[in-house]
Structure formats: C-alpha cells, structure tokens
Structure 1
C-alpha cells in the first residue's frame, strides 16, 4: 500500500501556511517589540495590523504568540472581539488566569488553573494550556483593568517573563470601551511593564477607531496581497517539501489566478494537490480543475455566507458597489448612493451595518468589499 502524503496546503481559518511568505517585515516588527519589552525594559508602542479578510492577520497573531513563547517564555492572552459584545470581561478573566499561571508555575512545569483556554507557553514549554481555576467558596471580585494588568505583570516578572495581549477583529470594538482600554495602557507606559499589545482588524479601523490616540500612534502594518515572488514561494515551497513539486507553468497559472490573495493561494494549492493525486508533479494540466474547485468553494463559502447574512437593503448596496467596481478601482460611498438613486446620508446606516459585519470596509472615502473576488461573484 502506498504511503499517503498529507496535503501541505492549509486553507482553513487561523491555520499557519506551510510557507508563510511575504510577511517578513511584520514578523520582524513583532520580534523587535518583544525584545524591547523583554530585554530593554521598556513598554513598546502597540502593533496594529490591518487588511481585508483572508490576508493572514489572525495567523500573524498566532505567530506572535509562538515567538513570545519560544523566545521569551511569555504567556499570551488572545482576545477575539464579537459583534456588539464587550470584550473587557473576557480580558479580565484571561488576565486573572495568566496571573494565576505565573504565580503557581514552578520552573519548567505547566500548571492547571480552570475555565479558560490560553494559547501560551509557561517557562518555555509550548502548547495550549487548559486553565482550570481552583474552586473557592467565595469568588474573587473582578479587578479593574489597570490593577489586573499590574498584577499579571508583577507575577510574570517573578519568572523574568512578561505578557503578550493580542486582540483580533478590532473593528467590532465599541469605541468607548476600546478608548478605556487604550487609556489604561497609555497611562502605564512610564511604568515599563513587560507588556506587548498587538491588535488586528479590517482597514476600516482607521475610521471607526479614529481618536483613540494610543493606537493611532502605534506601529501600523497593512497586510495586503502578496507580491509575485512571495506568491510563487507560497505555492512552490509546500509542494516541493512534500515531494510533489510544481512545474513552472503550473506555478505561473496558479499565481495569476490567486491575485496574490493569501487565502486563495492556499485554496488553489490545496485543490491542485488534490487534482494531481497519483502524479509525480503538479502540472499545468491540473490547474483548470484547481481553479474551478477554488471558485466554487469561495462562492459556496465566503461569498454565499456574506450574501445570506445581508438584508434586502444591504444586498442592494452590495450589488451597486459590485457594479461600480467593474469599471473603476476607487468607488466612494457617494457614488454608491448615487447609483442607488439617493443621498449618502440616506444609506449611511446600511453602509455602517455592512462595515460592522465585516462585509465591506472603508479607506478614507473609498468603499471596498472585504473579500477579494466577491464583486465578480455578485455580478454573475
């Protein structure tokens, strides 16, 4: 029986690709921020990652946690903001869990605490740590955020460690709540806490979170499509490493079809690998099947789910945006309103709902669909 070689491409959500190409600069910035906090004794400014859906923001947050764990033996507290739900309660719970892990951790051993999962490493031991807090007759009252941060940082320093906080889907945060969080962090920068904060969200965070000075003065990184060299590397390397290389023609065609969109690169590679089963290489003859399967999967998944989640008014807005996108690169909110035969103010609530859902985002006056290729799908 032939040995099965696993498909080396990973199109699932929050799965680091086998070849994380084209993101060297942001990973270097992550490593530097951790070095500043861990080795220089200063609290660095936050890192802010922006980009559309499927460009790898969440993957970078995961890579940051891995760097914190392997290079500095730091715990990571990951937060994913949900629509119309405050995040501070969850943050306080996870900060308390991290504090307890540090307080109870003997050198070189993991701990059990209770009731939350923290992706982290205690003193150099990696993996997911299941946090089970020991039952007590009287639960401890929740600490204010600044006190909770102070306690976990003090506990971390006992082990010559620190804390990484990652926040995903920042565009969904209520501005007052995010402002309180930012103000707390900004207030304690002079205290030189061993703390690094990395946040990620759609490009609309520049508009929706405008005025939150702490993040406006952060180190911003825009994650977009990969360039041609990085796209080819992301396609070629996993196949080469898995023992079924791609021919040059196959790489050229798949790279063009992907448009450099990281999620599409993984889907195309995945389906090209599947189409080439039993072959020694992934050839140009396998590409049409891979492209068809990828387009079908994007349509049935990302595109269809966002369309079904849209109200009739929101679909009208999306259809108008898609039609305008066929003939011009930059579409403004005013132009969408004009195409709908109304004034911008009359449809601003529709636009804002679509932004909150993550279906569209804005860059200054420009309005764009968050998932590449969806405009063509809507028109079809």
Structure 2
C-alpha cells in the first residue's frame, strides 16, 4: 500500500493517530487544573509506567488540552546530566514574560522576573549549569538565599501570584521525572506543597518510571498526599484493537478481525509496539486490506525495527557487566525476579552485584516492584537480551563491578 498514507507513528513521544483508552485520565487532569485555576484544592499528578506505554504522548496531549483552555504551561524533560534548576529556570522565564503581557499581572510578573534573577544568581555556585536570561535586576531577599528548597518555594509562590493576577493557572509538565535527584525532587515537592497551602494556581503534571512513587515518598513523607499517581499500563484488548484498526479504517483500509486479534496478542497492548507493528503491517499489505498473513509477515520487520531503535539505544548505554546482569535476568524469564535468584544464576551474591543493580536502576533500565524484586522497565526487553546475547557464551565474560 501507499507508504505516504501509512497512518501509524512509531517514534519517541510521537502522537498516535488514535489515542485510545486515555480519556478518563485526560479528564481527571483537566478537572484538577480547572479547580486550581479558581482557587479550589486539587492534587498534582505524576503518571508512572514502563517504557512504551505512552506517558510522553499523554503528557504532550494534556499540555495541549490545558493550553486550549487558556492555561499557561511549562514543559521540560529531566535528563540525567542536568539539574532541575537549570532545566526549569529558562522555561519559567518564558512563562513570566508571557504573563507580563497581561495588564493585570504585569507588575507581579516583573517581580517574578526579579525573583528568577535572584534565584539563578544565588544558585549559580551550587548548580553551575544554570543559564538564564536576566530581564530585571534581582530584588534583595527574594528567592536569593542560595538554598534550593527555600528559593524554589519562594519562586513558585511568586509565579502563583502572577498566574492568579492573570486569571489563569501555571502548569509545569515534567517528563522523565525519575532522573531528578532526591534533594532537588524534595525542593520541588516543598514548593508545590506551599503553593497548594496558599491556594495559588500552580501545579505539576509529571511522568516517570514506576520507581518514582517511592522516590517521591523518600524525598518528602507527605508526597503521597500531595500527588495522585495514576499508573499507565498497556491497553486493554478492546482499546488496543481500536488503536490499530481505526487509523487504517480512517484511510479506507479494511482490517480482518483475526489480523487485529494477532496485533493485540503480539504487542501485549503496549501503545508503542502497536504503532511499530501497525506500520509494518501496512507496508506488508496490498489492495487496501490488512490480513492475518500481512501481520505475520510484518512481525519480523517490526521486531527488527524495535531491535535497532527502541531496544538498541538502551542496550548501548550499558557497561558489559550491566549487560550481563540483564542477560542473567532474561534467562530467568519476563520477571519480576528475586535479586538473589539473579545473583545465583551468575554464581555471585546479591551484595556483590549491588553496585551494578543500583547503576541499572539509576539508568532507568530496571526497578524494584517490591523489596528484593527486580523487573525490567522496558517491556519485552528480556526477549531482546536473549536475541542480542544468544546462547551461553556471555557468562564467562562477566568480570564483576
């Protein structure tokens, strides 16, 4: 079929043609934002889930939903290598400049820009990666003490005053939130807690891997009362079927029921995999008709595409010892697995493998669903590890931490 018409969109955070099964969560977030805008209490939201479930897609859609209602937004992705102040400060400056165009909020916005200048200058020594334009000179005593928790709180309070004066709300969208260090996460939680106490219209909508719930609780004990943590999982079969079938139907392409059933089965309902398989099935089909045979012939291409992009980019970030640890996990099956069982499969103790396990958790490759358990954060990564490191030759190469 015509490749130009192919509606499926496998990509990092690329919106699928049919965002199936997420309407209830979008409405939950819409209501929360609408409530804080009018001074009513509502929890911030942190979505958690494995890779490939569509958290980034949802985050971007929620941002568009908010902006369509006149809400001011800030969007950042938390990388492993930069500090939270460094990624937030430039975006908060842009938000303040936009809000300063609202006549009723102009004076408050100028004060906010002065606070941001003090915040950046005071924390420059501690966080050398902060780079932000300075529009006004700092105001002495405003967010400039050099203490991240206190200064970020003061800055968020001022932002709340600006948004309130403008008759809107400011929503901070943060992706990959699990990469924010515990100290910086604690400062963000403290600031959000304070604006919530003051009924100011500032809130957070974040997304991250499942370990984020525990990290937020460790950072601040009251985090469980400040946030809702909706878990984003694979789609249920009817939703997965819709995500595959409707884009094809919208292009005038017929999908056989057994072809749709097979897609649901092989993808396990993971939205990213549906897009990858859907794209390959479209390319394999002919005469505006996708059959079971098309899906079966497309599977090899879909798996190869995943191996070269979705899986390989994560595999290449790991050291040899980390790869072997994950290969040992994969040899035990999908998981989760007891850490002791993984160690035993390598003839080691859990304690000796602790640094490797910790490094893999920091890199977002594994997480601990319960104490002592270890699971992949990437669906089907166990199968990939067995493909990329087949047989048993990988065992003698393990040299330890």
- TM-score, normalized by length of structure 2? 0.81
Residues 84 and 174 in structure 1, CA contact (< 8 A), matched pair in contact too = no
Secondary structure of the equivalent of 2:5? coil
Moved more, 211-220 or 256-265: 211-220
Report the equivalent of 2:77.
Answer: 80
User: In 2, Cα distance between the equivalents of 1:139 and 1:35?
Assistant: 34
Superposed, 1:1-380 pairs within 5 Å as: 6-39=5-38, 41-71=39-69, 73-105=70-102, 140=138, 143=143, 144-211=151-218, 212-217=220-225, 218-276=227-285, 278-325=286-333, 329-365=335-371, 366-380=373-387
Please state whether the residue corresponding to 1:104 is helix, strand or coil: coil
The 3 A distance-change label for structure 1 pair 345 and 134 is closer
Q: Secondary structure of the equivalent of 1:100?
A: helix
User: Do 1:48 and 1:215's aligned partners in 2 also have CA atoms closer than 8 Å?
Assistant: no
Q: Is the 8 A contact 2:45 2:206 kept in 1?
A: yes
1:123 maps to what in 2?
Answer: none
C-alpha offsets along residues 98-157 of structure 1, whole Å, 9 cap, x if unaligned?
0111112579xxxxxxxxxxxxxxxxxxxxxxxxx9886x76589432332233333323
Give yes or no for contact 2:74–2:172 (8 Å, CA) kept in 1: yes
- CA displacement 1:309-330 (0-9 Å, x = unmatched): 211110121011001125xx43
1:203 shift after superposition: 0.8
User: CA 1:257–1:3 in 2, change beyond 3 Å: closer, same or farther?
Assistant: closer
How far, CA to CA, are the matches of 1:312 and 1:5 in structure 2? Answer: 41
Q: Secondary structure at the match of 1:160?
A: coil
Deviation at 1:210, TM superposition (A): 3.2
Report which stretch shifted further, 368-377 or 292-301. Answer: 368-377
CA deviation after TM superposition for structure 1 residue 189, in Å: 1.5
Q: 1:50 to 1:7 in 2, by over 3 A?
A: same
Q: Give ranges in structure 2 of 5+ residues lacking alignment.
A: 105-131, 144-150, 388-401
Separation in structure 2 between the aligned mates of residue 345 and residue 159 of structure 1, nearest angstrom: 55
Compare 152-161 and 315-324 and name the one that shifted more. Answer: 152-161
1:43 to partner: Cα distance: 4.0
Two-structure CA RMSD over aligned residues (Å): 2.3
Deviation per CA, 1:147-169, whole angstroms, max 9, x where unpaired?
A: 32233333323331111111111
Q: What is the distance in 1 between the residues matched to 2:94 and 2:288?
A: 50
Q: Which moved more, 1:25-34 or 1:211-220?
A: 211-220
Write out per-residue CA displacement over residues 270-290 of structure 1, whole angstroms, 9 at most, x where no aligned residue: 1111222x5122222311232
Deviations 1:209-231 (A, max 9, x none): 43223432221111111111111
Distance in 1, matches of 2:247 and 2:50, equals 24
Distance 1:210 1:186 in 2: 13
Q: Which deviations, in whole Å up to 9, do the C-alpha atoms of 1:236-255 show, x marking residues without a partner?
A: 11111122131112111111
- Is the 1:5–1:242 Cα contact (8 Å) retained in structure 2? no
1:119 counterpart residue number: none
Gaps of 5+ in 1: 108-132
Give TM-score, length-normalised by structure 1. Answer: 0.85
Give, in whole Å, the separation in 1 of the partners of 2:137 and 2:55: 36
